[in-house]
Chains A and B, each alone.
Chain A
Amino acid sequence: MSAVVKVNPIACEAYGYCAELLPELVTLDEWGYPIVDGRPMPRHLVELALRAAKDCPRRAFLVEESAESPSRRGGRPRTR
């Protein structure tokens, strides 16, 4: 089971908190909007990703399980 991050581009308002928490996966373009690495992320980043998803002020940052079993998690952190 691997997790990927996604950004809802309509909800996103360039707060940039996701990039602050996860510079490994998110960089900001010249206008402050996130460019995400949509590949399955390393295990140690999942906790941070869930945190970023929970604290995104517009709930635009999403953590999902990768394509085979899409179940959306808006970020209630779960322990593994």
Chain B
Amino acid sequence: MPTATTDPTAGTRSAGAGTSSSRGDDQVRPTLLAGWHAHRRADLAAHVAYHGAPPLPRRGDTSWAERFAGVVDASGLTGRGGAAFPSATKLGNVRSARGRPTLVVNAMEGEPASAKDKVLLSCVPHLVLDGAELAACALDAGLIVVCVPDAHDDTAAAVQRAVVERVGTGHAPVPVEVVRPPGRYVGGEESALVSWLNGGPGAPTWRPDKRRPLAIGRGAALVHNAETLAHMALVARHGPASFRATGSPEAPGTSLVTVSGGVEHPGVYEIAMGTALGAIVNRARPTDDVKAVLTGGFGGSWVPAAALGTAYTPRAMAEVGGVVGAGVLVVLTRGTCGIAETARVARYMAGESAGQCGPCVFGLPSVADDLELLAFGTADPSLLARLEMRVAAVEGRGACRHPDGVARMVRSALAVFATDAAAHAARGPCAFAGTASVLPSITFLSPNRARAGSGGRA
């Protein structure tokens, strides 16, 4: 269960103030975590006291769904699960589908370096559930399913408590179920999640036409990240203008970011979109000079220290080779080896393949092999060329984006750590290759891939 520190810069702020792009007027700029910071309580009474009741539709109000969709559209809310797809469009796609839809709250958070959904569900579960109920009403959904990984018992308990609290209060017109799919890396991928909900293996399916909505049973499924729904709950209460009051015109609103790595205060921060990357990183107090940041998650991309002035929006980050994704930032400080960390991430990602597609099953481990050789093994001038070829070979050849993420991450590493890579290839591991990893604790396999008997299928 995450706890707050006694950091004087946290927790004492009133709703919405204190972000670096704040406007200075006293308009309410609602933020996701402000309610929790105000009361330090996650129960329904505290939630309603702070936010008021959710603006759920009255019986027989047939135009409410249309208005709600309009409000979401006007706010410019995009998905906070990684793809940044416009939420109103997604809502519209499912609204026009046949059958009784299901609303899926995706809190799977497969990224090891991300903790924002865990924090949301533990600290402000009612905000997420409000958003889920609102979206479900807009869809005329028959059921809301909250997906929490099987290993996260604390989070699941917190959500379950919140669900039980709402029963019979009028805050839960659509019934809610909490389910526990297996918490693999690809487990939160939309099609994998829906596959599991349909009784299948929970592996991604091949979707050559992404416009067709996913289906659960006879009806369509709308899958939304927990944070996206929490934002919807605020937008529905305070209007689109309040959401657009923070952030930048192209990327409005606030977002939760998980900062980890070589920092003193790893954790979850709510930031306004458009804040400078360096400012966000500094809030977590890096332990030393920042060398590079892994943005977007293990399937994201590395960004050099020179890009720390970039605004944290999808477009601006993309221009410097970064990714916003699910708001993950892993900070690499001076004295750690970027190649070594990349090798570790690649090895983890290879182990997280769903095991369905040949290029992923065989290609990712071979990429990890090459990276481990580069990071820890003997110098080899042909290694870099072979690695680039293999990275190109896995890209776009899986059913899901898992190999694409690895390809992107490795390519960015080879670009950002180019001099290190060349030095490793020519002269072998650098002095820092052996230092302890700053990555969130993940089990590493030895470089000779001694897999038999180690770990086994989860």
Contact = CB atoms under 8 A, between A and B. Distances in A.
A48 B393 CA distance: 25
A74 to B, nearest CB: 13
Nearest to B354: A10
B399 A6 contact: no
A60 to B, nearest CB: 10
29 contacts: A6-B208, A8-B206, A9-B356, A9-B357, A9-B360, A9-B397, A9-B398, A9-B399, A10-B205, A10-B206, A10-B357, A11-B206, A12-B358, A13-B358, A29-B363, A29-B393, A29-B397, A30-B393, A31-B358, A31-B362, A31-B363, A32-B358, A33-B358, A33-B359, A33-B362, A33-B397, A35-B393, A35-B397, A70-B209
Interface in A1-37: 6, 8-14, 29-33, 35
Interface in B328-375: 356-360, 362-363
A60 B399 CA distance: 12
Nearest to B358: A33
Size category of the binding interface on chain A: 10 to 19
B238 to A, nearest CB: 41
Contacts of A30: 393
Contacts of A31: 358-359, 362-363
Contacts of A14: 358
B389 to A, nearest CB: 9
B400 to A, nearest CB: 9
Size category of the binding interface on chain B: 10 to 19
Closest 6 CB pairs of A and B: A9-B357, A33-B358, A31-B362, A10-B356, A10-B399, A9-B399
B393 A12 contact: no
Nearest to B390: A30
Nearest to B389: A30
B359 A29 contact: yes
A32 to B, nearest CB: 7
Contacts of A33: 357-359, 362, 397
Contacts of A10: 205-206, 356-357, 399
Interface of A: 6, 8-14, 29-33, 35, 70
B282 to A, nearest CB: 42
Given A8-B206, A9-B356, A29-B359, 11 more contacts: A6-B208, A10-B205, A10-B206, A11-B206, A12-B357, A29-B393, A31-B358, A31-B362, A33-B357, A35-B393, A35-B397
Contacts of A6: 208
A29 B206 CA distance: 20
B393 to A, nearest CB: 5
A30 B393 CA distance: 9
Contact of A9 (B359, B362, B393): B359
Contacts of B397: 9, 29, 33, 35
A33 B364 CA distance: 14
B398 to A, nearest CB: 6
Nearest to B357: A9
Interface string B173-216: 00000000000000000000000000000000110110000000
A52 B393 CA distance: 23
Interface in B63-108: none
A35 B393 CA distance: 8
Contacts of A35: 393, 397
A10 B209 CA distance: 15
Nearest to A7: B397
Contacts of B357: 9-10, 12, 33
A31 to B, nearest CB: 4
A33 B360 CA distance: 10
Contacts of B398: 9
Contacts of B358: 9, 12-14, 31-33
Contacts of B206: 8-11
A9 to B, nearest CB: 4
A33 to B, nearest CB: 4
B366 to A, nearest CB: 8
Contacts of B356: 9-10
Contacts of B399: 8-10
A77 B434 CA distance: 59
Contacts of B359: 9, 29, 31, 33
A30 B359 CA distance: 9
Nearest to B403: A9
Contacts of A29: 359, 363, 393, 397
Interface in B205-245: 205-206, 208-209
Q: Which of B359, B360, B362, B393 lies at the interface centre, i.e. has the most chain A CB atoms within 10 A of its CB?
A: B359
Contacts of B393: 29-30, 35
Contacts of B208: 6
Nearest to B204: A10
Contacts of A12: 357-358
A29 B205 CA distance: 22
Nearest to A31: B362
